[in-house]
Structure 1
Amino acid sequence: MEGLTVRAGDTIVITATSILGQPAPTSCWSKGGKYFKPSDIVHIETTATSSTLSVKYASRKDSGEYIITASNPFGVKEETVKVKVLDVPGAPGPIECSGVSSEKVTLTWTAPTEDGGSPIKLLPPEFDLDAELRKVVSLRACCSLRLFVPIRGRPAPQAKWTKGDGEPVERATIDSTTSYTSLVIENVNRFDSGKYNLTVENSSAVTLTWDPPVNDGGVKIKNYIVEKRESTRKAYATVSANCHHTTFTVDQLLEGCNYYFRVLAENEYGIGLPIETGESVKVSEKPQPPGKISLKDVTKNSVTLSWEKPEHDGGSRVGCYVVEIQPKGVDKWSQALIVKETEATISGLNAGEEYMFRVAARNEKGTSDPRQIGVPVIVKDLVIAPVAKMLFNTFSVLAGEDLTVEVPYVARPKATVSWVKDGQPLKRTTRVNFSATATMLNLNIKEATKDDVGHYLITLTNTAGETTAAVGIVVLDKPGQPSGPVKVEEVTSDSVTISWSPPEYDGGCTIKHYIGRWLKANFTNVIETEYVATGLVQDNQYEFRVIARNAAGVFSLPSFSTGAITARDEIEPPHLSIDPEYTQSVVVNAGDNFKIDADVHGKPLPTIHWMKGDLELGNTIHREIKNTPTKAFISVKEAKLSDGGEYTLLLKNPGGEKAVQVNVVVLDKPGEPQGPLVVTGITKDRCCLAWKPPLQDGGSKISHYTGAEY
Structure 2
Amino acid sequence: MYYVFTNGGESKAELEVEEKELQVLQNIADLTVKAAEQAVFKCEVSDEKVTGKWFKDGVEIQPSDRIKMTHIGRIHKLTIDEVKPSDAGDYTFVPDGYALSLSAKLNFLEIKIDYVPRQDPPKIHMNTSSSGDKNTIMVVAGNKLRFDVEITGEPAPTVCWMKGEELVSEGEGRVRVETEKTLSSFVIEGAEKEDEGYYSITVTNPAGEDKVELFVKIVDVPNPPENVTCTSVGEDFGMITWDPPAFDGGVPIKGYLMEKKKVASTRWTKINFDAKKMIEGVLYEMRVFAVNDIGISQPSANSKPFMPIAPTSEPTRLMVDDVTDTTCALKWRPPERIGAGGIDGYIIEYCIEGSDQWVQANEEPVGKNQYRVKGLPVGEKMLFRVVAVNVAGRSPPATLSQSVTIREIMEQPKIRLPRHLRTKLIKLVGDKVNIVIPFQGKPRPVVTWFRDGILLEDKTVGTRTSDVDSILFIRSAERNHSGKYTLSVQVENMSDSGDIDIQVVEKPGPPIDVHVTDVWGFNAALEWKPPKDDGNCEIIGYTVQKADMKTKDWFTVFEHNRRPSCTVSDLVMGNEYTFRVFSENICGLSDVSGISKNTATIAKTGLDYNRPPFKDKDVSHSPKFTAPLVNRIVVAGYSAAISCAVRGFPKPTIIWMKNNMIIGEDPKFLMQNYQGVLTLNIRRPGLFDGGKYSCRAVNDLGEDEVECKLEVRVAQEKGTETKN
Shared fold (TM-score, shorter chain, > 0.5): no
**Which structure: larger Rg?**
2
